[in-house]
Structure 1
Amino acid sequence: MSSQSLRRWSWIHKWSSLVCTVFMLLLCLTGLPLIYHHEIGHLLGNDVEAPALAPDIAANPPRANLDAVIASAQALYPNKIMMYMSQELDEPAIWNVTLGDHPNDEHYKPIAVDARTAQVITEPAFEGGAFMSTMLRLHVDMFAGLPGMLFLGAMGLLLIVAIVSGVVLYAPFMRKLEFGTVRHERSTRLKWLDLHNLLGIVTLVWALVVGATGVINTLADVLLKVWQATEIAAMIEPYKDARPLTQMASVDAAVQTAMAAEPGMQVGFIAFPGTPFASPHHYGIFMHGDQAFTSRLYKPVLIDAGNGTITDRRELPWYLTALLVSQPLHFGDYGGGWMQFLWAVLDIATIIVLGSGLYLWIKRGRRARADAKDAPKTAPAVQPVLARSGESR
Structure 2
Amino acid sequence: MLTDKLVFRIHRVLGLTAGLFILMLTLTGSILVLDSQVDAWLNPGVVTVEPAASRQPADALLASARRQFPTATLLNMRLYAGESDRATRVELKEKGERIWVYVNPYTGAVTGTREREKAFVRQMRELHESLLWEPYGGYIMGLVGLCLLGSVLTGAWYYRKSLLSVFSMGVRWKKSRRIVYADLHKYLGVVAMLFMTWMGATGVFFHWEHLERSFGNGPQRPKTEVTPPTITAVDTYLTRSQQAIPQLTPDLIAFPEAPDRPLVVRGNTPESNRMLGRFTAAVEFDALTGVQHKVFRAEEADAEYKLEHVFEELHFGRFGGPVTQILWIVMALATAVVSVTGLLIWWVKR
Structure 2 runs not aligned, ≥5 long: none
1:316-341 CA distance string (max 9 Å, x none): 54434333333343333333434333
1:146-182 CA distance string (max 9 Å, x none): 3212321221122111111111111235698874344
Change (3 A) 1:336 1:249: closer
The aligned amino acid for 1:18 is L
For normalisation by structure 1, the TM-score amounts to 0.72
RMSD: 3.6
Distance in 1 (alpha carbons) for counterparts of 2:22 and 2:4:
25
Distance in 2 (alpha carbons) for counterparts of 1:79 and 1:63:
23
Distance in 2 (alpha carbons) for counterparts of 1:323 and 1:223:
14
Q: Which has the larger radius of gyration?
A: 1
Q: Is residue 16 of structure 1 aligned with residue 1 of structure 2? A: no
Report % sequence identity. 25
Distance in 1 (alpha carbons) for counterparts of 2:79 and 2:281:
15
Instruction: Count residues with an aligned counterpart.
Output: 338
* Deviation of the 1:198 alpha carbon: 1.1
Q: In structure 2, which of residues 264, 274, 289 is the aligned counterpart of residue 307 of structure 1?
A: 289
Query: 2:251 is paired with a residue of what secondary structure?
Result: strand
1:111 maps to: 101
* Deviation of the 1:221 alpha carbon: 5.1
Q: In structure 1, which of residues 150, 153, 156 is the aligned counterpart of residue 145 of structure 2?
A: 156
For normalisation by structure 2, the TM-score amounts to 0.80
* Deviation of the 1:132 alpha carbon: 4.2
Q: Is residue 193 of structure 1 aligned with residue 182 of structure 2? A: yes
1:79 maps to: 71
The aligned amino acid for 2:89 is N
1:77-132 CA distance string (max 9 Å, x none): 11112111122243257431112237xx4x12211224455x133124489x7554
Change (3 A) 1:165 1:75: same
The aligned amino acid for 2:308 is L
Q: Is residue 270 of structure 1 aligned with residue 253 of structure 2? A: yes
1:180-219 CA distance string (max 9 Å, x none): 3444565432332222111100111222233333334445
Structure 1 runs not aligned, ≥5 long: 234-242, 367-393
Map 1:180-329 → 2, pairs under 5 A = 180-184=169-173, 186-218=175-207, 248=231, 250-274=233-257, 280-290=260-270, 292-293=274-275, 296-314=278-296, 315=298, 316-329=301-314
Query: 2:135 is paired with a residue of what secondary structure?
Result: helix
Check conservation: 2:156, 2:163, Cα contact below 8 A. Answer: no
* Deviation of the 1:226 alpha carbon: 10
1:49 maps to: 48
* Deviation of the 1:355 alpha carbon: 1.1
Distance in 2 (alpha carbons) for counterparts of 1:297 and 1:222:
25
Query: 2:235 is paired with a residue of what secondary structure?
Result: helix
